[in-house]
Structures are given as C-alpha cells and as structure tokens.
C-alpha cells in the first residue's frame, strides 16, 4: 500500500487545522495533515508585492500551478519563473478551471478585489493567504472572518510583523505589566507615498491591449482608464474606490503590536482631529489625525488610540520621551532635511513602550524618560517562529507549515484575528468621510454608526454586475 496521500485527502485533512482557534500556544482542534504530498497554489496578483508572495510561497515547497494578473506583461514576466503554471487574466476563470488542482490561493491584488477573490477561494475550501488590509470595506472584513471559520480553512493576512519574535516578546512585556495600565497609544506613519488629496483627472486614455481593465476595476464602479500610473499599477492606494489610503495600507502593520497586546478591538467611537478632506469622493486626505476610543475590556483600562499620517506627528510631550537618536530623526523631518518617520508609542501608568519599526519587531522599554535595557523578560506565553529568515519568508513558512500540519500553533494573523484588526482600522475611514472634530459613535456588533446613520452607507457597497461575494 502506498503511503502517499491523495490530493483530496490532503485538502480535507489540512483544512481541519484551520478550524482550530488560536488561543496561545495550541489549537483547539489538533487534526493535522501529512506533508507527504506537498500542496499546490494558484496566485492572484503576481506583480509588486504579489511577485514576492508567489516566490516565497514556492520557497516553502509549494507547487505553483496557476498565475493570474490583469496585466499581461506582469503575467508573462512571472511566468518565466514558473514555466509550468497556467496563466490567466481573470481569477474567477482560474479558480473555476483549476479546481481540485489547487490547495492554496494567494491574493495580492489592490484592496478592492481582496474580498471577492478570497471568498471564492474559501468557498472552494482553499487555504488563503491575503495581503493587508484584509478587505476594502468593514462589511467584507466581517464576512471573510465568518466564512473562514465556517469553512475551516487555514488563513493568513500579510502583516509580516505578526510572525516576528520581537513583536511577540513586546506583547508579552506589555501584558506582563511592565509599563502598568496603558491608557494611550500613538501610532504614526510615513505614508502616503502616492498621490492623495486630489480629484479625478479629466479625460481618458486608450486601454493597453495587455491590460484587462474590466478585471482590474473588479467590483468597483467602472471609470475610464488613465495612463501615467494614475491607478494601475501602484497609485490605486490613494483612490477611495480602490484603496484604503495611508490608514489601510499601514495600520495593519504599525498598530499590530499594540492591538495584539491591548486587545484593541471594536472601538466605541472615532473622531478625525485633523482631516484635509476627501476631494469629490475620489482621493483620501493628504494628511489626517484620528482618535479611536476603546472602553474598559477584559481587565484593561479605557484606552485612546491616536493615528497620524501625511507627516502629522504626536505632541512634543509624547515625542520628548523617545530615545535621543529618534528625536534627532523627528527634528530632521520637521526641518525638511530628513525623511518622514514612523513609530508607535504606548503610554502606561509606569512607563512607555516605543517601537520605531513598522512591524513592531524592535522596541524600547522607557521609564522616567530613559531606555531600560536590564528589565527581566516575562515568561513566554506566545509561540516563536523557529524558521530563520526575513520577516516575509517567516510568515510564509508559518502559513504553509500550518497548512501541512507541521506547525502546530497555527497562523497568528488568521482571518479571525486579521478580520478584527481590519474592521477596527477601517472604522477610521468613516471619520475621514465626515466632519473634522465630530465624534462618530460605533456599534461594532452590528457594524453601525449610531449617532450619524448616514455614515452607514460607507460600511460596504453594492458590487458591479458580475462580481459577488
């Protein structure tokens, strides 16, 4: 009798791993799959970040059997690396045709197509790796979270810091009380690095023969194509119909550590303290400052979380607590002689935690305005990733080995976690669509703004014909 498992057996058994709930260092469901027959993958979006996502998945022993990109040039280029993979310009067609040949689907497209691609794959019981933010809308994030649990598949969102041992240690330090009760969190980013704060350009250009423009638009409202990288292939992040701005791009990275440590789920209100404004409902603001309010939760004190982008920074009273080397960088930023900085500061009753790393992987413990290097590390409560590699490769290792059952704790940034993180961050976009200084009250259980009902139209949208969840 052969000890090789059939692909159908592999898919069914490895899916059982995804049905477990991550609760520390073990899964509640410990049914594991054998890795005797390696998994195969179909990759959606294979340019830019999608190129490395595809290659890093392959590096973990995954056979790439399908490549999809709306841009034929990008598709052809990646096809040179994976010569045996079938090529498509529409992921719906690829998933329909490849069927049982695929165990894993990666989704590395613009934000607005994440949900429909990931949803189709999960309904087919495929394990899904999806780039951040998990979805374009709040409603999509909730639906993907619920579907992943229902289908019992292994999932992972591409916020690589979650797989960094440094982030996990920072979470343990904070939860062990090293800085006391945390009542404020301040996070800022160097984004946007693409155009924001403008309206739609006039006119239109011929659609290149190599580009599936209808597929690129996907579920969003159709609009004319414009060249000069107006939308494709990078500047889409600044457009309301396609991206989620600086907040959506980076908050799933830079807020990841404090969210995990402090259980910053389900804000009760959000206010835009600074908002340069969405222009003609087209592009996100050039700069903003948001304040999220979180109530007391599971023994943690009420917390205010402040987000800054477009060059905005926390008050001097916050920045003056940071290490001198970083204060020098801030001074250079303000003088226009240095690049914009990114950082995260957690203010507690007995000190602060500061991370200058977008991924939360490096941090300083600060007490009395001085960095403390000789603190006693707390007992380990979170698993460590044993794979030694760069952050991106480590996260792909965590995902693939969870699919094959070789990594028992499972993925930390599964859609149960990633969906809640994405929901939390996207509530901020409601405030960006509203008035400066106005407090928008949020009912997370029902995904509703309770004091300004007209904002609820922005929690989701009707898909264009031919695109569904």
pLDDT for 115-169, tens place per residue?
999 999 999 999 999 999 999 999 999 999 999 999 999 999 999 999 999 999 9
Residue of 24 and 265 predicted with greater confidence: 265
**Tell me, what's the pLDDT at 32?**
35
> Burial of 436 by CB count in 10 Å (0-12 exposed, 13-18 middle, 19+ buried)?
middle
Could you say which DSSP state residue 203 is in?
A: S
Handedness of CA 300, 261, 350, 356 (dihedral sign): negative
**Tell me, what's the pLDDT at 144?**
98
Q: Is the pLDDT of residue 438 over 50?
A: yes
pTM of the model: 0.92
Domain assignments of the chain as residue spans, ordered by start: 7-162+386-416, 165-196+237-375+420-458
Q: Is the pLDDT of residue 16 over 80?
A: no
Q: Is the pLDDT of residue 33 over 70?
A: no
Q: Is the pLDDT of residue 362 over 60?
A: yes
Neighbours of 162 (CB within 10 A): 32
Structural tokens at position 407: 């990594």
Structural tokens at position 202: 């006039």
Q: How confident is the model at residue 236 (pLDDT cuts 50, 70, 90)?
A: very high
pLDDT for 162-208, tens place per residue?
999 999 999 999 999 999 999 999 999 999 999 999 999 999 999 99
pLDDT for 43-68, tens place per residue?
999 999 999 999 999 999 999 999 99
Q: Is the pLDDT of residue 9 over 60?
A: no
Mean pLDDT on 228-254: 96
Would you give the distance in Å from CA 196 to the centre of its chain? Answer: 20
**Tell me, what's the pLDDT at 99?**
86
Judged by DSSP in three states, 259 sits in helix
Q: What dotted CATH number matches 165-196+237-375+420-458? A: 3.30.360.10
The length of the chain in residues reads 469
Q: Is the pLDDT of residue 38 over 90?
A: no
pLDDT for 406-429, tens place per residue?
999 999 999 999 999 999 999 999
**Tell me, what's the pLDDT at 29?**
33
Of 165, 171, 169, 164, nearest in space to 391 by CA:
164
Superfamily of segment(s) 7-162+386-416: NAD(P)-binding Rossmann-like Domain (3.40.50.720)
Q: Is the pLDDT of residue 80 over 80?
A: yes
Among the residues of 124-201, which ranges form H helices? 138-151, 165-175
């Amino acid at each position: 009798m052969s000890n090789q498992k059939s692909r159908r057996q592999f898919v069914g058994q490895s899916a059982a791993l995804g049905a477990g709930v991550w609760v520390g260092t073990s899964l509640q469901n410990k049914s594991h799959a054998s890795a005797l027959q390696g998994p195969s993958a179909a990759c959606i979006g294979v340019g830019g970040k999608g190129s490395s996502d595809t290659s890093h998945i392959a590096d973990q022993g995954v056979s790439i059997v399908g490549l999809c990109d709306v841009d034929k040039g990008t598709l052809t280029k990646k096809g040179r690396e994976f010569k045996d993979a079938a090529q498509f310009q529409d992921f719906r067609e690829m998933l329909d045709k490849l069927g049982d040949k695929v165990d894993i689907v990666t989704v590395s497209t613009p934000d607005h197509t994440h949900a429909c691609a990931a949803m189709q794959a999960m309904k087919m019981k495929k394990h899904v790796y999806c780039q951040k933010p998990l979805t374009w809308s709040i409603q999509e994030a909730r639906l993907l979270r619920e579907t992943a649990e229902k289908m019992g598949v292994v999932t992972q969102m591409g916020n690589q810091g979650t797989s960094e041992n440094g982030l996990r240690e920072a979470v343990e330090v904070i939860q062990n009380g090293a800085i006391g009760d945390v009542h404020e969190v301040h996070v800022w980013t160097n984004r946007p690095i693409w155009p924001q704060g403008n309206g739609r350009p006039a006119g239109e250009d011929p659609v290149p023969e190599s580009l599936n423009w209808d597929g690129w638009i996907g579920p969003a409202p159709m609009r004319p194509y414009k060249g000069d990288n107006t939308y494709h292939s990078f500047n889409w992040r600044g457009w309301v119909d396609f991206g989620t701005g600086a907040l959506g791009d980076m908050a799933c990275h830079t807020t990841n550590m404090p969210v995990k440590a402090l259980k910053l789920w389900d804000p009760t209100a959000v206010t835009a303290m600074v908002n340069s404004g969405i222009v003609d409902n087209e592009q996100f603001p050039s700069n903003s400052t948001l304040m999220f309010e979180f109530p007391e939760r599971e023994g943690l004190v009420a917390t205010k979380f402040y987000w800054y982008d477009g060059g905005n920074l926390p008050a001097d009273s916050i920045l003056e607590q940071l290490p001198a080397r970083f204060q020098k960088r801030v001074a250079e930023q303000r003088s226009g002689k240095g690049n914009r900085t990114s950082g995260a500061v957690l203010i507690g009753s007995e000190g602060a935690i500061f991370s200058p790393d977008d991924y939360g992987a490096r941090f300083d413990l600060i007490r009395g305005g001085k960095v403390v290097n000789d603190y006693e590390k707390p007992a380990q409560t979170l698993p460590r990733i044993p794979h030694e590699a760069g952050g991106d490769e480590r996260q792909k290792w965590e995902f693939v080995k969870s699919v094959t059952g070789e990594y028992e704790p499972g993925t930390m940034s599964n859609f149960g976690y990633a969906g809640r993180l994405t929901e939390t961050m996207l509530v901020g976009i409601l405030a960006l669509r509203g008035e400066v200084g106005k407090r928008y009250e949020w009912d997370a259980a029902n995904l509703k703004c309770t004091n300004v009902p007209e904002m609820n139209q922005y929690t989701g949208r009707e898909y264009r014909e031919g695109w569904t969840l």
